Structures are given as C-alpha cells and as structure tokens.
Amino acid sequence: MTELNVIDLKASVQGTEILKGVNLTVKSGEIHALMGPNGAGKSTLGYVLIGHPDYKVTSGRIILDGKDITGAAPEERARLGLFLAFQNPVSIPGVKISTFLRTAYNQMHPDEKLSLKDFFNLVKSNMESVGLNESFISRSVNDGFSGGERKRFEILQMLVLRPKIVILDEIDSGLDIDALKQVSSHIQREYNEGIGFIIITHYQRILKDIRPEFVHVLMNGRIVMNGDKNLSDKIETEGYDWLKEVA
Ligand SMILES: Nc1ncnc2c1ncn2[C@@H]1O[C@H](COP(=O)(O)OP(=O)(O)OP(=O)(O)O)[C@@H](O)[C@H]1O
Ligand SMILES: [Mg+2]
C-alpha cells in the first residue's frame, strides 16, 4: 500500500508562484483525474512531484509513504516509486532506448539483478503491447519519434519500471484511437495491480474508459473543486467558467 500526500504545496518557477497551495492524497489502487484550463499548473504539479530542478517548492510538503520527499533528488523519488509521463517528452539523441530503460530500471530496482537477456525480453514483450516494433530498441530516446510514438514510449517506461504512483500528463493527446484503447487497458491493468494514478487530461474519452473515482479541478494554482465522474461530465458540457466564481 502506497500513499502520496501533497500538503498545502506552493511552488514557483523563475520567481513566479504557480502552485498556490495544492492538497491531494493518492493511494494505491486509486485513479485520480486532474483537470483544469491551460496554464492552471497541472504539468507544474507533475514536475514538482518528481523533483524537476526548475521548479522550487516555497512551502508545503510532499510525503510518500510517510517519508518527506519535498527536497529529495529526482532519482530518490523514482526509486521510491514515483513516475511522471511527460506531456511533451524530450528527445535524447545518442542515448538508446535500451540503455535509458536499463539505467532507470537499475536505479529503481537496485536489488534486482536482471541479466541483459532477461531485461531485453522484458522490454521487447512490453514494446509489443504498446505498439512499438522491435526496431525501436536501438533508436535514441524520442529522437525523430512521432507524437504518438513518444506517448507510447512513456507507457513503455511505466510498464517496464513498475512504479507505485504514476502521473500521466496528457497521455491521451496525440494518440490514435487504437493506441488510446491500448493505453486505457494498460492503465486498467496496472490499476488492478494496485498502482495509484494521477491522470491529467482535457478529454472525456480516456475517462470514459477508465472511470476515475476522483476528479479534481486545478485552477490558478489551486484545486478548486473535488468530485467524481459527474464533475468531469459537467466540465465537458460547461467548460470551466462556472468554476471561476468558486475559485
Ligand atoms: N519554465 C517556465 N518558465 C516560465 N513560466 C513557466 C514555466 N513553466 C511553467 N510556466 C508557467 O506556469 C503556468 C502553468 O503551466 P503548466 O504547464 O503547469 O500548465 P498546465 O495546467 O499544464 O496547462 P496545459 O493544460 O496547457 O498543459 C503557465 O502560465 C506557464 O507559462
Ligand atoms: Mg500541461
């Protein structure tokens, strides 16, 4: 059982406060949808949670399984089971997918000694299930990847690395219908295995498939409303304007 607690978290980037007091608790086997207008701070929250150095926490705390990780290094957070799939995954020319995954895997699971062969097999079987063919294994990370291929690679990382709490930042944008279905079924399966999810999205489509129990709306750096599927349905038809009065 894993539990992530975000307590009155405030964070700034380049001197501008973006998160203005976020409270959120995510446990194993829960799916939380995080919605909100462009620029609300959703991706910033993801970056802050995984410890991106450009984002400075100015107050509040991030607790993972009772351990204060507010100031922990990104590698430490990853080792403890936090994973972020980026909204805009960057390419790393010269670093092969296989090398990248093996390095991350060894960091996350230092006690597991998978042979190179077993590791390749693990990666290959998961590549198939995310719809990336074998030729990708020798390609550089995201280098020349299409938009959808980048998103598929994010899901591949999730499947190979086996984190405990997963933040998916707009995983559903840029995916074709078939890939979206695959991703939804992967999320569903990992959820059944007890992984906790924060799914950042603008769209109903993925939420229809995975039916989150919790829906949160972030506006102007604060979660202004918590609800369930009815809340995302209302946003779909009415947008965010009605929440401005609440915010
Ligand atoms: N490195 C940065 N430098 C300057 N401003 C930044 C930086 N990173 C984020 N911001 C600003 O912080 C605000 C929140 O951005 P963020 O990416 O978190 O929004 P978001 O809710 O994810 O929006 P979207 O739905 O468009 O992805 C934006 O106004 C953005 O311009
Ligand atoms: Mg974003």
pLDDT tens readout for residues 112-130: 988 999 999 999 999 999 9
Q: In this predicted structure, what is the pLDDT of residue 64?
A: 98
- Cα of 234 vs centre of ligand 2, distance in Å, is 21
Q: Is the CB of 14 under 6 A from ligand 1?
A: yes
Domain 3-244 CATH (choose: 2.60.120.1440, 3.30.540.10, 3.40.50.300, 3.30.720.120) = 3.40.50.300
Q: What are the 10-residue block averages of pLDDT along the chain, 247 residues in total?
A: 97 97 97 97 98 97 98 95 96 96 93 92 94 94 96 96 97 92 94 96 92 96 96 95 83
Q: Report the residue among 12, 19, 38 best suited for mutation to probe ligand 1: largest number of ligand atoms under 8 A from its CB.
A: 38
Q: Is the CB of 41 under 6 A from ligand 1?
A: yes
How confident is the model at residue 247, as a pLDDT?
65
Q: Is the CB of 115 under 6 A from ligand 1?
A: no
Q: How remote is the CA of residue 65 from the centroid of ligand 2, in Å?
A: 26
Strand partners, 31: 197
Distance from the alpha carbon of residue 69 to the mean position of ligand 1, in angstroms: 23
Ligand 2 (ion): which residues have CB within 5 A?
42-43, 87
Q: Nearest residue CA, atom 31 of ligand 1?
A: 39
Cβ–ligand 1 contact at 44 (below 6 Å): yes
Q: Please give the Cα distance from 61 to 186 (Å, whole number).
A: 30
